[in-house]
């Protein structure tokens, strides 16, 4: 299904506006699970939106990532993006899609997949898993395989990221359905989701700042009338544009199953990570002290960005990863690689 | 992902550039251009390649023209080849990335030709465009003046109407290639006074080889190189047939011309040779500093290329991309100015344009060029003002 008329996007936006208002954002930050909002999103079909065939809704992948960007632009405190991508990968691996919240566990978490009789068992401890406490299922990667668990895991330590979104330690020891997995790693898939969401949140920073400097008056005129403010906002906007472009590049590579999709994702995470530092700094400077309060909405976006840029691999790690890959190729291959990504 | 789906695009603002379309014809062309360059400029040293769009070689421009790679998007009846914007983009970025000497056709192909095509008379188009497409016609830009730099509307050069044409008096400055050029597109005042700002300005096509009362004086840059000039007009006669477009509409024509000037890949590829030399020097390095630096630069380059291709996509669709072009140019200049600083931090040797080590020579050259990156074609301050206006702040 092509969302060419934007119907799904508009419906999702309306749903999010109704279900995740400012009160809900504050409730989520205090540790509450937004059950009503999750149920409404599930009823709309978002968790299965990107799954092709009879199991899902088969929304074009590019439209699916546009939804993830939309979720990011509102810093929605629900594991919708993770669940959308997890179900897509499950379906691609030929495994059944999952009911409810699905958590992604990349190979780097060190969870082992071992044969047990006719089947498989997953064992290990995975740290900082998004909404681990709410997960009904896990997608675990290891040794070139991907596994689905629907039981046999529990929260052994609760935690959050800087935006108060749950990041829990899970202790895993359960039977798993396993398939071989030649595709992008879960780390890459998760990293891509964060890059796209961050691009959306940075667009919101531009909107918040633009509104603020036009409305706020000091020294008898709007802040937007000061050239130094105009130039700061121009720089923020340019960083947001660069982040969006880098994320789009990675999405296109993912959608096309390009050979260099991993490089495109690494580049996106590196560029987005750098943009986050500049953009959040400018956004807070422009908002002054009022933007530094819990009451103001700005921190929902800046705190999420400060966490997202280093989840599923830190920006620094992705940057070195990209650099090492480029330096492993001959000098003559540098430019051809740039044009091929 | 943005542009293919109109409903979503409507929610996004101008910071989300459109996706460049997949274009097989352009990618096939890329291979041909690479093969051509591998032979044609094989003798150029890294330092010569680093001159990038300052490298002047009429023979190279004619060779490019003979392949049909100049005036690519123009109508055939003017010597063009009616190919797509994306195919032209491929030729431009490949020649720049390879460090080909493009200066003899650069300005004409990028902006003077398109300006004539859009605003010129039929006679001007028929006479000039085929020559540009052959790589046989060098243009210079007559915009800046001693007292009109970023503030272009302050131009003082004046064309007084006389029998059969104009008498032009005034001085143009920073005119790249005026000493080589066959033509200049002169931006000047044809009526009113400087207080009228945008009103009363026009563009005239000046024959640089046959205009009496015009003198060209070289201005050396800080590296001692002669690229730009001062061009003085002392009651120089310009025939009335030289008027481009409409008398008094010069300002809007110039703004249209600047959109061509600000959007291209030259805004982040002019220091490409330094990046390539650096990659060569650090090849296979297991230094985390080196990996972090090359990773970061590559991520910037990929994002800039994506943005720039987004602008090309907008221009191909006839959309106004002035804000987006300013973003690309501002980010591109910052990237290129950081590049020599980063290279310095990774190479423990002094930059020297005369060094026998290519990296040090290219580093010396690029360091001495870098200040111009955020000056030429619109200063950083002007660009950020344009971006702020695009956001509705001005």
Only one residue has tokens 């491929």, namely B90
CB contact under 8 A, A2 and B5: yes
Query: Using CA atoms, how far apart are residues B99 and B309, in angstroms rounded to an integer?
Result: 20
Q: Say if residue A106's pLDDT is above 50.
A: yes
Nearest Cβ partner of A242 from B8, B295, B307? Answer: B307
| Non-local CB neighbours of B356 within 8 Å, separated by 6+ positions | none
- Is the per-residue pLDDT at A54 higher than 90? no
Gyration radius of chain B's alpha carbons: 21
Q: Do B299 and A214 touch (CB under 8 A)?
A: no
Q: Is the CA virtual torsion A221, A227, A230, A236 positive or negative?
A: negative
- The mean pLDDT of chain A is 96
Residue A168, helix vs strand vs coil: strand
User: Does pLDDT of A36 surpass 50?
Assistant: yes
Angle between helix axes A227-255 and A261-287 (nearest 10 degrees) is: 160
Task: Collect all residues of chain B within an 8 Å Cβ-Cβ radius of residue A70.
Answer: 8, 11
pLDDT tens digit sequence for A254-299: 999 888 999 999 999 999 999 999 999 999 999 999 999 999 999 9
Looking at domain B14-137, does it have CATH number 4.10.520.10? no
Task: Yes or no: say if B387 and A238 are a contact pair by the CB < 8 Å rule.
Answer: yes
| Cβ distance of B5 and A227 shorter than 8 Å | no
The pLDDT value recorded for residue A5 is: 67
**A79, pLDDT greater than 60:** yes
One fold for B14-137 and B141-249 = no
Domain residues of chain A, as ranges?
7-180, 186-340
pLDDT at position B392 is 92
Q: CA-nearest residue of chain A to B297?
A: A323
Tens of pLDDT along A168-186?
999 999 999 999 998 899 9
Under the banding of pLDDT at 50, 70 and 90, the label for residue A1 is: low
Contact predicate B186/B168, CB 8 Å: yes
Q: Of B343, B339, B274, B264, which is closest to residue B304 (Cα–Cα)?
A: B264
Determine, for residues B7 and A5 on separate chains, whether the beta-carbon distance falls below 8 Å: yes
Q: Do A270 and B288 touch (CB under 8 A)?
A: no
**Gap between the Cα atoms of B106 and B55, Å rounded:** 10
SS3 A162: coil
For tokens 């919240």, the residue is A101
Nearest to A129 by CA among A67, A171, A184: A171
Within 8 A of B280 by CB-CB distance, chain A residues are 331
Q: What's the CA gap between B207 and B187, in Å, rounded?
A: 14
Class of domain A7-180 (CATH, top level): mainly beta
Among the listed residues A330, A320, A179, A192, the one whose alpha carbon sits nearest the alpha carbon of residue A255:
A192
DSSP bridge partners of B218 = B229
Q: Out of A34-43, A131-140, B257-266, B311-320, which region has the weakest mean confidence (pLDDT)?
A: B257-266
Q: What is the pLDDT of residue A89?
A: 96
Query: pLDDT, tens digit, for every residue of B18-60?
Result: 999 888 889 999 999 999 999 999 999 999 999 878 899 999 9
CB A194 within 8 A of CB A309: yes
Task: List the domain boundaries for chain B.
Answer: 14-137, 141-249, 263-390
Q: Enter the tokens of residue B314.
A: 């907008």
* Per-residue model confidence (pLDDT) at position B2: 36
The CA distance from A40 to the nearest CA of chain B, in Å, is 21
Output the CATH code of domain B141-249.
Answer: 2.40.110.10
Nearest by CB: A246 against B295, B302, B394: B302
What residue ranges of chain B have pLDDT lower than 70? Answer: 1-13
Tell me the two tokens of residue B5. 């789906």
Are B90 and B26 spatial neighbours (Cβ–Cβ below 8 Å)?
yes
Spell out which residues of chain A touch residue B298, defining contact as CB-CB under 8 Å: 267, 270, 322-323, 326, 338
Q: Which of A207, A233, A338 sits opposite B393 (nearest CB)?
A: A233
- For position B5, what pLDDT does the model report? 37
| Consecutive H or E run containing A181 | none
Collapse the DSSP code of B330 into the 3-class scheme (helix H, G, I; strand E, B; otherwise coil) and give the result.
Answer: helix
Given a contact cutoff of 8 angstroms between Cβ atoms, the answer to whether B261 and B110 are in contact is yes
CA distances from B320 to A93, B305, B307, B333 (A): 44, 19, 15, 22
User: Averaged over A92-110, what is the pLDDT?
Assistant: 96
Q: What is the pLDDT of residue B315?
A: 87
Give, in words, the CATH class of A186-340. mainly alpha
Taking CA A261 as the corner, what is the angle to CA A198 and CA A48, rounded to the nearest 5 degrees?
60
Residues of A in contact with B291 (CB under 8 A): 319-321, 323-324, 327
Hey, what CATH class is B263-390 in? mainly alpha
Question: Which residue in A230, A264, A327 is closest to B388 by CB distance?
Answer: A230
């Amino acid at each position: 299904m092509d969302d060419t008329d934007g119907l799904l996007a508009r419906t999702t936006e309306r749903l999010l506006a109704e279900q995740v208002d400012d009160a809900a954002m504050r409730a989520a930050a205090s540790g509450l699970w937004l059950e009503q909002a999750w149920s409404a999103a599930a009823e709309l079909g978002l968790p299965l939106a990107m799954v092709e065939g009879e199991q899902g809704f088969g929304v074009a992948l590019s439209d699916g990532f546009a939804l993830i960007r939309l979720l990011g632009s509102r810093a929605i405190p629900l594991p919708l993006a993770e669940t959308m991508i997890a179900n897509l990968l499950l379906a691609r691996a030929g495994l059944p899609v999952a009911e409810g919240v699905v958590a992604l566990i990349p190979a780097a978490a060190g969870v082992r997949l071992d044969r047990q009789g006719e089947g498989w068992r997953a064992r290990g401890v995975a740290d900082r898993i998004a909404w681990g406490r709410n997960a009904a299922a896990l997608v675990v990667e290891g040794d070139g395989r991907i596994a689905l668990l629907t039981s046999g895991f529990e929260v052994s330590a609760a935690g959050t990221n800087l935006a108060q979104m749950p990041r829990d330690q899970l202790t895993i020891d359960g039977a798993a359905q396993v398939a071989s997995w030649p595709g992008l790693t879960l780390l890459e898939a998760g990293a891509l989701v964060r890059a796209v969401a961050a691009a959306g949140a940075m667009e919101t920073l531009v909107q918040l700042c633009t509104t603020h400097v036009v409305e706020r008056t000091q020294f008898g005129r709007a802040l937007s009338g000061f050239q130094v403010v105009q130039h700061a906002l121009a720089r923020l906007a340019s960083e947001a544009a660069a982040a969006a472009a880098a994320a789009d590049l990675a999405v296109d590579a993912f959608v096309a199953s390009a050979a260099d999709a991993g490089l495109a994702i690494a580049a996106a995470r590196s560029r987005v990570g750098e943009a986050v530092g500049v953009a959040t700094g400018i956004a807070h400077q422009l908002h002054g002290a009022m933007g530094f309060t819990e009451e103001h909405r700005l921190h929902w976006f800046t705190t999420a960005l400060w966490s997202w840029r280093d989840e599923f691999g830190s920006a620094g790690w992705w940057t070195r990863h990209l650099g090492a890959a480029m330096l492993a190729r001959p000098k003559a291959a540098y430019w051809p690689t740039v044009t091929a990504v | 992902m943005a542009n293919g789906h109109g409903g979503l695009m409507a929610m996004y603002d101008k910071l989300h550039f459109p996706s460049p379309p997949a274009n097989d014809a352009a990618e096939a062309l890329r291979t041909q251009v690479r093969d051509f360059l591998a032979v044609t400029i094989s003798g150029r040293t890294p330092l010569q390649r680093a001159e990038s769009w300052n490298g002047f070689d009429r023979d190279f421009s004619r060779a490019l023209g003979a392949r049909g790679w100049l005036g690519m998007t123009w109508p055939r009846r003017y010597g063009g080849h009616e190919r797509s914007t994306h195919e032209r983009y491929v030729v431009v970025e490949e020649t720049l990335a390879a460090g080909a000497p493009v200066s003899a056709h650069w300005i004409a192909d990028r902006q003077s030709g398109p300006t004539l095509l859009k605003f010129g008379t039929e006679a001007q188009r028929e006479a000039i465009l085929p020559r540009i497409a052959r790589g046989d016609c060098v243009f210079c830009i007559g915009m800046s003046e001693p007292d009109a730099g970023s503030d272009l509307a302050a131009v003082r050069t004046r064309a007084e109407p006389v029998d059969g044409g104009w008498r032009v008096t005034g001085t143009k400055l920073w005119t790249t290639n005026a000493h080589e050029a066959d033509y200049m597109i002169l931006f000047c005042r044809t009526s009113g006074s400087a207080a009228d700002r945008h009103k009363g300005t026009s563009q005239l096509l000046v024959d640089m080889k046959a205009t009496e009362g015009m003198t060209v004086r070289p201005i050396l840059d800080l590296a001692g190189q002669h690229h730009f000039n001062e061009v003085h007009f002392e009651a120089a006669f310009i025939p009335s047939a030289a008027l481009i477009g409409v008398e008094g509409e010069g300002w809007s024509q110039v703004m249209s011309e600047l959109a061509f000037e600000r959007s291209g890949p030259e805004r982040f590829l002019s220091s490409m040779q330094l990046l390539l030399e650096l990659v060569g020097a650090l090849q296979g390095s297991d230094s985390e500093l080196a990996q972090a630096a090359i990773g970061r630069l590559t991520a910037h380059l990929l994002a800039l290329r994506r943005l720039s291709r987004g602008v090309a996509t907008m221009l191909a669709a006839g959309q106004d991309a002035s804000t987006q072009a300013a973003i690309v140019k501002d980010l591109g200049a910052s990237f290129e100015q950081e590049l020599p600083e980063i290279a310095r931090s990774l190479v423990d040797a002094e930059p020297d344009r005369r060094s026998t080590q290519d990296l040090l020579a290219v580093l010396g050259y690029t360091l001495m060029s870098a200040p111009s990156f955020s000056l030429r074609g619109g200063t950083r301050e002007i660009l950020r003002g344009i971006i702020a206006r695009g956001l509705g702040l001005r």
